[in-house]
Amino acid sequence: MSIERPAAPSLDGGLFRVRMDLSYDGASFYGWAVQDGLPTIQGTLEAALEVLVRRPIRLTVAGRTDSGVHARGQVVHFDLTRAEWEGLSRGAALTPEEALIRRMRGILNKDLTMPLRKAKAPKRVIHAMEGAITVHSASLAPEGFDARFSALWRRYSYRIADREASRDPLTRTVTLWHDFALDEHRMNAAAQAVLGVRDFLSYCKPRARATTVRELQEFSFLRRPDGVIEAHLQADAFCHNMVRSLVGGAMLVGAGERTPEWLGERLQARIRDSKSLLAAPHPLILEEVRYPADEEMQRRAESTRTLRALSGF
């Protein structure tokens, strides 16, 4: 039985803001952002929404992901008119939320597999692309919600199999197979030196007129019972390549090629050079984006916009 939800306040101009929570396997995509002639997550989602509402739709995302990177807890928002929102059901006994999820699933799977079907690809290849992008929930967003600016923090994970016994072929697409053993204790000691509000220029690919100052709230390594080392990183936001650079640096420490102090020394040096190691993208997963209570969404978004405007963030 469907549960009726109260309508969210409309934005200026009568538009309603919609929040979608989704996950994706980034292996076959060239990252989040739209790129001409290349398959991307944003491009695929926006094309599906255009089919649905019959006009171009622009998505705002909580955190861009690079080529080959996955997401389990990505969040986006977009704006629809009242007629577009209410028309999603098309007379079916569904709420607009339910209709959006169901119809997006059908359009996405068709768009992702149609080129393969036309090329008469093997069924196993077609099946592998079905569900590569999945919308888990959709709802009218609370007042002032912004998928990017309302976020309190983002959390990533990274998995490393550094022992033969922990190499599971069934998870190899989301796990780095490292050639020799790493010391997770040394890696944790190194990670402690880069926590807090810091300038992460040494571990970022800076964008023009943008700051590299971030608050890294968690950076830790845990060896799981199956022998895999799992890293967790949480920050208010991450700049380009930051997670992969930090993990790559910690791996050099874990391998004994650098001292535990090296990660912090590199941070203080504020320099990027050939000594840096960029970890492979395929084990990186955006796990979660956290937001404040509904009544705090607008205040959080406004304060974040102000901070980034002042700092070039």
Catalytic residues: 66
Angle made by CA atoms 195, 172, 106, in degrees to the nearest 5: 95
Angle of helix 262-269 versus helix 184-192 axis, rounded to 10:
30
Residue 108 CB-density burial (10 A; 0-12 exposed, 13-18 middle, 19+ buried)? buried
Q: Which residues contact 107 (CB under 8 A, 6 or more apart)?
A: 48, 51, 52
Amino acid code (one letter) for 305: R
CB atoms within 10 A of CB 143: 13
Task: Give the DSSP H/E element, type plus range, for residue 286.
Answer: strand 285-290
Q: Which residues contact 157 (CB under 8 A, 6 or more apart)?
A: 230, 231, 232, 233, 284, 285, 287
Cβ(300)–Cβ(292) below 8 Å? yes
Count of residues making up the chain: 313
Least Cα distance to 41 among 20, 55, 18 occurs for: 20
Helix (H, G, I), strand (E, B) or coil at 166: helix
Tokens of 36: 């001409």
Q: Count Cα neighbours of 284 within 13 Å in the Cβ-side half-sphere.
A: 24
Q: Which residues contact 220 (CB under 8 A, 6 or more apart)?
A: 188, 191, 231, 232
Torsion of CA 205, 149, 41, 277, to 10 degrees: 20
User: Distance between the two ends of the chain, CA-based, in angstroms?
Assistant: 45
